[in-house]
Structure 1
Amino acid sequence: MKKSLGFILIQCLSFMGTALQAEIIIDGKLDEDEWNEARQITTFYEVFPYTLNPVTDIKTVILIQESEEGIFFGFKNYQSNESMRSQSHQRDDERSIADKNGVTIDFDADALTGYQFFVSSSSSIGDATYRNENDRSYDWDADWLSAISVEEGVWYSEMFIPWTVAPMKAQSGNKRKVRMAFYRMLAGPQKVLATIQGSSHQNIYLSVFNEYTFNNYQTSGIDFFPYLTVNEDRIKGEIDNKAGAEVFWKIDSSKQLNAAFNPDFGQVESDEVVVNFSATETFYSDKRPFFSENHGLFNVTGWRFLYIINTRRIGGEPDYDCSKFQDVLNDYCLNQQVGANDIDYAVRYSQQSESLDFGFLGASEANENFSTGKDFYSVRLRTRKDDLTIGYLGTYVDRPVIDRTAQVNSVDFDYRPSSVLRINGLLVNSKVADVNGYGFDLGLGYDPNKTRHFGFGLYYFDENLDVNDMGYLVRNDWLMFGGRYQIKKTDFNTDSLFRERQYELGWSLKSDSSLDKEPSSINFSIDNSFKNSSQFKFGTFYRTNGRENRITRDSPEAPYINMPEGYGVEMDFNGPRDNFLRYSFDAKREKGS
């Protein structure tokens, strides 16, 4: 009996040891036995230049494995060692001179949100999110693993993407449908290869991903980040103690609850210094992990002009009304003002299913000296039926110091009737101090083939529209209709110096909401890319005269100035890319700018 138990124990230990040894280790070598049974992808298309031709002269092999924890990707990139470029770069710098591998994953297979992961041959990494087909944001920094290794004539990259990296919709059955697009960038010859016949620079991107099937794992996890800080001011003889925590709880694959209590964002990357003399507020993206990670459900925008939620408002500059105080207290109030508000708590809940997505975001600021913190609330709903996605996003802000409440309601839609046509739009209403404002945007994109692209946008914001208590609006009292038409040429002869040529015609018609004409413009450009990686661009523009009220800040004494007509030309040349040197020349001539 003892011998039998001993034999069973030895067998169990042997099995456990084999299982541990059989696990894939992210070291960039791809030498584990599991890779021999992995799914393989070897079909690629050239997407830069945008020929969409099958790639036969550059060999790339992608391996895919899965487990209950996540997805493993292996890349085998065959090329001569002399042609490899491995410049180290900051996170998310996809334009660096380095060879790269990447994958963009649509975990829900619904073309609503994509998550991009890439690694360079220098081991540098990057990640981003995609919304609205091709709208990319680098604010998202996820937790995932990668490694690379180099051998003679090939370099390898290896990635591990956990299932908990992003919120996912619940899918019925034992299998989960996932759409993915893989790509490889070669920095030397400046080529990009992909497993799809599409590019993020085209109007339709997420919708052309290839579909893959994985086991439908039920995942959950919780991360808890407490902190305690002690600050001593020896001049004033004051000690400030601060404690708080952040909790990220993925209840299951479709539900997630995040909470922050008295959070500290001292480790967050600071903003770039921007000197802005214009009347337009500079938009800063949010780098705080609580507000940047898995926030895609709440990202409702009208291109770069309008953001229904700008989370930088939460914890922003406090409200003060020092006029309520007299003499010494008034001076003390003015001298005690701070530039940012602490946050008492923030909570975000999201739940995604095959029929309906729901989200809630709430936050409350702490009280400062002579100021009471603001309260922020938001509700999000989204559903999809066939080719139409429609959603609602509402926000409410209470600012007690200035006795102001602000409510915003918006409805957004995205209609994709075919693989070449997309129509999207946004309707928005604001109610601030019992004053209603309205606005909308409507966009259309049409890509009939790989050589032509057409798109336009129509934007209208009346003079009372105000979303800036919790969002961002570049300006109100504005009407604009603009568009562009592009033609690409990539079918050059093999002995030609050219690799790609792009013609672009753009235009914009502008006025205020009362139809008083503002300067409108038309521009034309020719962009040439050469096989030696150099570029030459020529552009010209013409702008009409019209009223400009932003320079005078719409002052009653001088509500606008009359801008003269303007025109000009510009030429720009960038020399071939090199490991050590790259040069450029620029010349332009303008009038009336």
Structure 2
Amino acid sequence: MYSRPLLAVLLFVCPAAHAALKIDGRADEAEWKDAHVLRDFKRTQPYTLDAATVVTEARLLSTPEGIAFAFRCEQPADIPRIKPFTPRDRIRNADRVNVNIDFDADGKVGYNFTVSLSDSIEDAIITSENEFSTDWDADWLHAVQEDESGWSVEILLPWTIAAMRGSSTPTREIAVNVDRVVASRSERSAMPPVFYGNPVYLSGFQRVTIPQYRAQVLDLFPYVSTLYDFKHPGSEFRAGADLFWKPSGDFQLTATVNPDFGQVESDELVVNFDAIETFYSDKRPFFTENQALFDLPSAPDGVLFYTRRVGAASDDGSGRAADIAAAVKLNGTAGRLKYGAFLAEEDDDAGRRFAAGRLLYTFDQSNIGALVTSVDRPALDRRADVLANDWRWQIDPKLRLEGQLLLSQIDQRGADSKGSGGVLRLVALPSDRLQHTAVLTHLDGQLDFNDAGYMPRNNFNRALWETSYKHNDFAADSAVAAVAWRGTAMYRANDDGDRLSPVGYLVREASLRDGGVFTSELRVDGAGWDDQISRGNGKVWRGARQWLFNEYGSPRRGKWQYQFGVWALQEGVGDGLALQLETELSYSISDRLSIDGQINPRWSRDWLIWLDGKRLGSFRRTQWDTALNLNWFPKARHELRAKLQWFAIDAHAGKAYRIDPRGHLLRDGAAEDFSVNNFGLQLRYRYEIAPQSELYLVYSRGGYEERDRREESADLFADALRLRDADQFLAKLRYRF
């Protein structure tokens, strides 16, 4: 818990004298008496929409320093208080409150701010109604006070925290939703009672008109870092800076010179044998600040501007990450028009140049926009340009139509191409319990936005229908409080006239009155063509396959909480089943020290993967996906984290197949056994000097190994501890001026 003056904020307009709030969690200043009050919270988890079992009241107040919120959470002694200290953006099993706010009240971009009973925090950006990204870390004030009858929270969101249109007007309309989670009961209650798991969430916030104040901020974040490599003894020193300038809510600029993105955050270990690239989130400060305007997803599961492309593996073929020389980004508004521009250039002769521009015009709850990306790749003599037009029409409160038109042009010697595609989505809400979604997708075989974006595939046509229904009128003595059903059907084909495997699945999620959740999923992939598995070496006809999943998530039981799930699935040529267990266990040794881990083994009898050319292989497989995390907060501002991951595969008894001219698989002898070992360890100490000023000390070690022979699981684990592709120590200081 802390409070501090907003030294960087300079006030330009102050309609009336107003004492600055002290953000200490008490909400005892006289100004709070005039605040807008949000009460009568309804339960949204389980989705019963009846009165919350405990009383919560929230207040909203506009001040010259920012938009302030105060919560009063009643919590009698018979309801356990769950208050572990957690790293930023990793609150899971804790009593907490959430502020969700759309500063422009247009349903396009929202922001989430979470404070737990221990004063741990999360912040996230909300796009596409209910897509949350915790990559963004903002600067805001928060504090918690606890007493015998409950606890209180104060939150202050500075006027400069995000881009806002019309920042010069005396008032502004915002849209808000506040909620509270009682961890021991796995209960969430909200006002207004909208739930992030529904297709319509952001648009359902309550609109409130508040006084508006103008402010500006200029922040400079220089950094220094040093890296010592133990495997190849030697050190590297780097220095650079980020600049954030926000003269008003209508215009914000971010720039970086020689940025350092040392591994203070480690990616999850993944071994990918699929044809589709693995998608990773991006925690780099420059790329997350004011990025929401550029976040434009596209079916199927694509992203039109994927910031991990900047600074990715160099085009020089060395495999090393490219150094970034400089980058700049600006966001602004002019009336109802939002605009943004992004430029980045990598270092050395093979360095790529990235550019993106975004326009978005909003009116009422509808909008129309355009996104342009351009990537120049001199080492490949390649230039890639993409234009996306997106629009959203809110026909009425219960019916919404959305669409995208996509165009790409690739200029590369001997490989020029022009492609197009489009997505059309209709969302209908006949009632609070029932929702329907229909999606049509067409991406032709020449469409390519992978240079600046993330594109799982092209040459793709899909018709999707999804219906979800929530049943919440169970008897009071029922163990079940609410049940959510979701059914999905997909027809898929490519432009060559091949019917790809159709997909249908049914999901049932039962919320129990004791706080547990039981989830079941049945998926059926019908017979059809697979045109990706051979990496362009021919399509393969695959028979129908079924997947069945059941999982139970327990409520908090004392210091323990667990999840246990079982998958039974077909993934190969014949009827052989694979079995996967998903187990996760967390234990709070104390509020400041916790440990959690997961073990997800899979045993396959028929695992089908590509080998080379027109050859595929079916293997028996034993796979281990494990992780162990320890988080310790010895005192305020100090954080120690240990993270260990191990991923291993033993593939044996392989059968080789060759694709015949008709697309069927013919036996082609045996496939060689192999094993894969991937290990990562990170020990990280973080000291918060001041908000957004931090010292990191990080030790990382790990490696990857693939062998042309079978290895038993015990041997794989023993060998993993000896892997040492990387063995480094990093010290990094980033300070805010």
Write the letter of the residue equivalent to 2:545. G
Q: Does 1:562 align with 2:541?
A: yes
Q: Name the CA distance, whole Å, in 2 between partners of 1:239 and 1:90.
A: 29
Give the CA deviation at 1:542: 2.6
Write the letter of the residue equivalent to 2:551. D
Q: Which residue of 1 aligns with 2:719?
A: none
Q: Does 1:273 align with 2:269?
A: yes
Q: Which residue of 2 aligns with 1:328?
A: none
SS of equivalent to 1:517: coil
Q: Does 1:311 align with 2:307?
A: yes
SS of equivalent to 1:111: coil
Gaps of 5+ in 1: 1-18, 322-336
Give the CA deviation at 1:280: 0.5
Q: Name the CA distance, whole Å, in 2 between partners of 1:231 and 1:531.
A: 51
Gaps of 5+ in 2: 1-16, 578-737
1:485–1:125: structure 2 CA closer, same or farther, 3 Å change rule? Answer: same
Q: Which residue of 2 aligns with 1:85?
A: 82
Q: Which residue of 1 aligns with 2:502?
A: 520
CA contact 2:176–2:206 (8 Å) conserved in 1: yes
Choose 270-279 or 42-51, whichever is displaced more.
42-51
Q: Name the CA distance, whole Å, in 1 between partners of 2:561 and 2:354.
A: 48
Q: Does 1:43 align with 2:43?
A: no
Q: Name the CA distance, whole Å, in 2 between partners of 1:509 and 1:437.
A: 22
Output aligned runs, 1:224-235, within 5 Å. 224-228=220-224
CA contact 2:48–2:481 (8 Å) conserved in 1: no
SS of equivalent to 2:32: helix
Match of 1:405 among 375, 383, 391: 383
Q: Which residue of 2 aligns with 1:464?
A: 446
Q: Which residue of 2 aligns with 1:548?
A: 530
1:540–1:301: structure 2 CA closer, same or farther, 3 Å change rule? Answer: closer
**Structure 1 residue runs of 4 or more that deviate by more than 6 Å after TM superposition:** 230-239
Give the CA deviation at 1:212: 1.9
Give the CA deviation at 1:308: 1.2
Q: Name the CA distance, whole Å, in 1 between partners of 2:230 and 2:490.
A: 59
Q: Name the CA distance, whole Å, in 2 between partners of 1:412 and 1:542.
A: 32
SS of equivalent to 2:160: helix
Output aligned runs, 1:238-317, within 5 Å. 242-266=238-262, 268-303=264-299, 305-317=301-313
Q: Name the CA distance, whole Å, in 1 between partners of 2:115 and 2:301.
A: 32
Output aligned runs, 1:69-468, within 5 Å. 69-83=65-79, 84-94=81-91, 96-171=92-167, 173-228=169-224, 242-266=238-262, 268-303=264-299, 305-320=301-316, 337-367=318-348, 371-433=349-411, 434-468=416-450
1:190–1:424: structure 2 CA closer, same or farther, 3 Å change rule? Answer: same
Q: TM-score, normalised by structure 1?
A: 0.87
Q: Does 1:27 align with 2:24?
A: yes
SS of equivalent to 2:474: coil
CA contact 2:239–2:258 (8 Å) conserved in 1: yes
Structure with a larger share of its residues in helix: 1
Residue deviations 1:544-579 (CA, integer Å, cap 9, x gap): 111112221122xxx122211123544333444313
Choose 391-400 or 561-570, whichever is displaced more.
561-570
SS of equivalent to 1:352: strand
1:448–1:338: structure 2 CA closer, same or farther, 3 Å change rule? Answer: same
CA contact 2:184–2:555 (8 Å) conserved in 1: no
Q: Which residue of 1 aligns with 2:551?
A: 572
Q: Name the CA distance, whole Å, in 2 between partners of 1:242 and 1:588.
A: 47
CA contact 1:268–1:288 (8 Å) conserved in 2: no
Write the letter of the residue equivalent to 2:408. S
Match of 1:487 among 461, 469, 476: 469
Give the CA deviation at 1:241: 5.6
CA contact 1:203–1:446 (8 Å) conserved in 2: no
1:232–1:560: structure 2 CA closer, same or farther, 3 Å change rule? Answer: closer
Give the CA deviation at 1:315: 1.3
1:237–1:195: structure 2 CA closer, same or farther, 3 Å change rule? Answer: closer
Residue deviations 1:477-503 (CA, integer Å, cap 9, x gap): 222222221221101122222201122
Residue deviations 1:387-440 (CA, integer Å, cap 9, x gap): 431101111111111111111111011111122222212111111123101121
Choose 244-253 or 542-551, whichever is displaced more.
542-551
Residue deviations 1:98-141 (CA, integer Å, cap 9, x gap): 11111111111222111110111122111111112222211111
CA contact 2:386–2:408 (8 Å) conserved in 1: yes
Q: Does 1:508 align with 2:490?
A: yes
CA contact 2:107–2:365 (8 Å) conserved in 1: no
1:106–1:525: structure 2 CA closer, same or farther, 3 Å change rule? Answer: closer
1:547–1:351: structure 2 CA closer, same or farther, 3 Å change rule? Answer: same
1:401–1:567: structure 2 CA closer, same or farther, 3 Å change rule? Answer: closer
1:570–1:229: structure 2 CA closer, same or farther, 3 Å change rule? Answer: closer
Give the CA deviation at 1:166: 0.6
Give the CA deviation at 1:586: 4.0
Give the CA deviation at 1:37: 4.3
1:79–1:546: structure 2 CA closer, same or farther, 3 Å change rule? Answer: same
Give the CA deviation at 1:236: 9.7
SS of equivalent to 2:388: strand
Q: Name the CA distance, whole Å, in 1 between partners of 2:569 and 2:470.
A: 27
Match of 1:60 among 56, 61, 64: 56
SS of equivalent to 1:35: helix
1:231–1:103: structure 2 CA closer, same or farther, 3 Å change rule? Answer: closer
Residue deviations 1:147-193 (CA, integer Å, cap 9, x gap): 21211121111111111111111256311211111111111222211
Give the CA deviation at 1:79: 1.5
1:35–1:279: structure 2 CA closer, same or farther, 3 Å change rule? Answer: same
Q: Name the CA distance, whole Å, in 2 between partners of 1:201 and 1:578.
A: 25
1:278–1:131: structure 2 CA closer, same or farther, 3 Å change rule? Answer: same
Q: Name the CA distance, whole Å, in 2 between partners of 1:125 and 1:249.
A: 24
Give the CA deviation at 1:346: 0.5
Q: Which residue of 1 aligns with 2:690?
A: none
Q: Name the CA distance, whole Å, in 2 between partners of 1:64 and 1:177.
A: 13
